[in-house]
Structure 1
């Protein structure tokens, strides 16, 4: 059965359930104060200066993939590609402080970064207003989830759900097949790598509009595979919001 991710204090039962982790985190922050991922300034994971330095992707945009284009027309690639997803929007290009922030969130257990990054997604969502009934994070395979300990897309989705008032369904999409890291693959290899890798285990989403959430958009292969799994369960529309995207042609974006 699909469960909306509880938000705010609804997750706390009893209300003090997270007191110990918060005290522990505060103590560690005193011993090892967080530094900005962009400029290394002490005081937070992403300082206001570096956050302001991130150039948001603003209209006019390609209506399909969200790449900035002249007069909001389809970009060169989308004119020739047969994308099935209704549309993708990304907050910024995968470079500079944004690149460093995603790197820290994804590979260095800097889960606190999900809060400021999630806030950026919330702010951007209110500008682009992707239509959706529910939010679904792109899932990790169970083995990868055990190794990492968390799904960065789920962390971002929770923050987005709280900010825009939409339910987050973390078990609505399952990665049923372990796949190779996409970073070393070209566009066609990426598509084949994730073919059949996702499954939607229930049909409660029939007729719904879904907003997929992920960290980085490169070729769209992963989002397209998720889209197919959701469509097979009768989902009416699938949109996606990612924190960052590679520039067109930058297939092998430099993620460690």
Structure 2
């Protein structure tokens, strides 16, 4: 289905079956302004990459010394409460309208970082997962953020060439990295680009790191991550 036709179908369904807020149940929006305003924000003074609490925002000593391919991750919300429900409903419940609601605070979070982004790239799903779900929630978020910031989005720049299990916090750092190592590959010449990899949630950071490695291999000069929420 084309993007324009998909948009028209979504508008028609909203008219017949108005969405209800995933937080309070109020009719009219998938996530109302009041619930969004009360959602838990990430601490302002934290490490750009690992989210460790700092006296002022920047990089902690370990991340500054390590110089990983992923420079930082911008996320407006902690993965708690209503935001957790919203992310899950966007990802698994086909509530695609949530992408528009979450994109505004995501755009604000990215604008507050030191990166001058030139391209947004959604974290891709494996083809088998995409067929099963019917859409990529990361692509929906990237498109909406791109509209707000006037940034191009290339959903074909990165491919997931190997199916991987969901990231879980209980796994060790080495296990998390190993599970997604080599799972992504670039399909574009990204020479000199300042790329932001967009996803719904940063659980362990391993997926975004694997994407950053592939994007750097494709020539990207800088890579940041952007998600709606982050596990702490």
The Cα shift of 1:41 comes to 2.1
Matches for 1:92-107 after TM superposition, within 5 Å: 92-107=77-92
- How many residues align structurally? 229
For residues 109-147 of structure 1, give each alpha carbon's deviation from its aligned partner in whole angstroms, at most 9, with x where no partner exists.
Answer: 111111101122123333336321100000000000000
The Cα shift of 1:183 comes to 3.2
Q: Would the aligned equivalents of 1:209 and 1:237 in 2 still touch at CA under 8 Å?
A: yes
The Cα shift of 1:210 comes to 0.3
Query: What's the counterpart of residue 175 of structure 2?
Result: 189
Using structure 1 for the length normalisation, give the TM-score: 0.81
- Does residue 158 in structure 1 map to residue 140 in structure 2? no
Matches for 1:132-143 after TM superposition, within 5 Å: 132-143=117-128
RMSD: 2.3
- Does residue 198 in structure 1 map to residue 167 in structure 2? no
The Cα shift of 1:97 comes to 1.1
Cα 1:225–1:19 shift into 2, 3 Å: closer
Using structure 2 for the length normalisation, give the TM-score: 0.89
Q: 3-state DSSP class of the match of 1:136?
A: strand
The Cα shift of 1:149 comes to 0.4
Matches for 1:15-164 after TM superposition, within 5 Å: 17=5, 20-22=8-10, 24-29=12-17, 33-57=18-42, 59-72=44-57, 74-75=59-60, 78=63, 83-128=68-113, 130-164=115-149
Name which one, 1 or 2, has greater alpha-carbon Rg.
1
Q: 3-state DSSP class of the match of 1:183?
A: coil
Q: What runs of 5+ residues in structure 1 fail to find an aligned partner?
A: 1-10, 248-256
The Cα shift of 1:148 comes to 0.4
After the TM superposition, which of the residue ranges 218-227 and 124-133 deviates more from structure 2? 124-133
Cα distance in 2 between the residues matched to 1:170 and 1:231: 16
Q: Would the aligned equivalents of 2:138 and 2:200 in 1 still touch at CA under 8 Å?
A: yes
Q: Would the aligned equivalents of 2:45 and 2:57 in 1 still touch at CA under 8 Å?
A: yes
